[in-house]
Amino acid sequence: MIEEAAPELVARINQGVKVRGSHLVDALAVEVAFERRNDRGWPAFIVGARIAGPEFYDDAVGTWAIGHDAGTVLALNETARSFTFWAEPARPGSFSDAIITVVVDYPEAHEVEAAVRGHHA
């Protein structure tokens, strides 16, 4: 079920926004199905949100994978990877890159991105 993203998840992702004066809006989250999580329960959520700020238009929707503890965050789609530091560990061929390649295609990632595109707070 897609719902508003918890403030602590949004705050954590906001810490990695690259463009000064920008932040997340319309943030929604969906819990990842248990069978798609690793043995430590990650990712617990996929968060989708618009990046708002002076350089962004309405279509700047990013998606991120994040744990229950708001610890590990990975940027999934191209917008999130381009405009947040959460893609930094994902160099081509790295373990993080391999994870992103799988998680970006989770149905939850597609669902939450579509929901954000159709949502305006």
The pLDDT tens digits for 56-111 are 776 789 999 999 888 889 999 999 999 999 887 667 888 888 888 999 999 999 99
Predicted local confidence at residue 59, as pLDDT: 77
User: What's the average model confidence in pLDDT over 28-40?
Assistant: 95
Residue pair 67/50 in contact by the 8 Å Cβ criterion: no
Burial class (CB in 10 A: 0-12, 13-18, 19+), 56: middle
Confidence of residue 33 (pLDDT cuts 50, 70, 90): very high
Give the pLDDT of residue 54: 81
Residue 120: what pLDDT?
62
* b (16+ CB within 10 A) / e for 85-98: ebbebbeeeeebee
User: How much is the average pLDDT of 43-48?
Assistant: 97
